[in-house]
Structure 1
Amino acid sequence: MLRSLSIVLAVLLTTACSQRVYSTKELVPQALSQHKLVAILPFEVQLDQFNMQTISYVGEELSQAEVEKRRQRWEEKQQEQRKLVAYQLQQELLNQLVQRQAKHPYSVQFQNVAETNSRLERAGITYANLNDHSMAELKAALGVDAILSGETSLFQPMPNGVAVALLVLTNAGIPQNEVLTNVTIHDCQSGDLVWSFNHQQLGDLSASPAALARVLVRNSARTFPYRR
Structure 2
Amino acid sequence: MKKLLLFAIICITLASCGPQIYQASSFKDVKDTHKVVAVMPFDVTIESRRLPKGVTAEMIENQQRDYGYGIQSDVYGYYLREMSKGKYTVNFQDVSKTNALLKQAGISYEDLRLQSKEEICKLLGVDAVVSGKATMSKPMSDGAAIAVGLLVGAWGSTNSVNTSITIHEGKAGDLMWKYDYVASGSVGSSRESLTNSLMRNSSKKFPYKKS
* TM-score category, normalised to shorter length: 0.7 to 0.9
The structure with the largest alpha-carbon Rg is 1
Partner of 1:51: 51
Pair 75,102 (structure 1): closer, same or farther in 2 beyond 3 Å: same
Pair 163,48 (structure 1): closer, same or farther in 2 beyond 3 Å: closer
C-alpha distance after superposition, 1:135-175 (max 9, x if no partner)? 33212210000010011000139x996889xxxxxxxxxxx
**Structure 2 alignment gaps of length 5 or more:** 1-10, 12-16, 142-151
Kindly provide the CA deviation profile for residues 72-123 of structure 1, in whole angstroms up to 9, marking residues without a partner as x. Answer: x510110110000000000000001111223352010000000000011111
Q: Is the 8 A contact 1:152 1:179 kept in 2?
A: yes
- Specify the alignment match of 1:144 in structure 2: 126
3-state SS of 1:46 partner: strand
Pick the aligned partner of 2:196 from 202, 214, 220: 214
Q: Write the distance in 2 (CA, Å) between the matches of 1:24 and 1:217.
A: 14
Counterpart-to-counterpart distance in 2, 1:131 and 1:201: 23
In the alignment, which residue of structure 2 is the partner of 1:75?
57
SS in 1 for 2:56: helix
Return the alpha-carbon distance in structure 2 between the equivalents of residues 138 and 162 of structure 1: 37
**Residue pair 2:160, 2:184 contacting (<8 A) in 1 also:** yes
What amino acid sits opposite 1:52 in the alignment?
Answer: P
Q: Which amino acid aligns with 1:208?
A: S
**Cα-Cα RMSD:** 2.7
Post-superposition shift, 1:209?
2.0
| 1:31 Cα offset (Å) | 2.2
1:133 is displaced (CA, Å) by: 1.8
Q: What fraction of aligned residue pairs are identical, expressed as a percent?
A: 31
Matching residue of 1:155: 137
Counterpart code for 1:109: N
SS at match of 2:204: coil
1-structure distance, mates of 2:51, 2:57: 9
Change in CA separation of 1:201 and 1:144 when aligned onto 2, cut-off 3 Å: same
SS state at 2:205 partner? coil
User: Unaligned stretches of 5+ in structure 1?
Assistant: 1-11, 13-19, 54-69, 165-175
Provide, for residues 33-74 of structure 1, a one-character-per-residue CA deviation record: whole Å limited to 9, x for no partner.
221100111111100244221xxxxxxxxxxxxxxxx5xx51
Q: Which residue of 2 aligns with 1:42?
A: 41
Higher relative contact order (CA 8 A, sep 6+): 1
TM-score normalised to structure 1 length: 0.71
Q: Which amino acid aligns with 1:204?
A: S
Q: In 2, Cα distance between the equivalents of 1:111 and 1:223?
A: 21
Where in structure 1 do 4 or more consecutive aligned residues deviate above 4 Å? 159-164
Match of 1:56 in 2: none
Q: For 1:135 and 1:178, how far apart are their aligned partners in 2?
A: 28
Q: Structure 2 length normalisation: TM-score?
A: 0.76
Q: Which has the higher helix share?
A: 2
Of the structure 1 ranges 205-214 and 183-192, higher mean CA displacement relative to structure 2 is found in 205-214
Deviation string 1:9-43 (CA, Å, 9 cap, x unpaired) is xxx9xxxxxxx734535312222222110011111
Does structure 1 conserve the Cα–Cα contact (< 8 Å) formed by 2:42 and 2:132?
A: yes
Q: Does 1:24 align with 2:6?
A: no
Contact persistence 1:41–1:147 (CA under 8 A): yes
1:202 to 181, 184, 188: 184
Matched, 1:87 2:69: yes
Q: Distance in 1 between matches of 2:100 and 2:52?
A: 37
Corresponding residue number in structure 1 for 2:206: 224
CA–CA separation in structure 1 for the residues paired with 2:35 and 2:155: 47
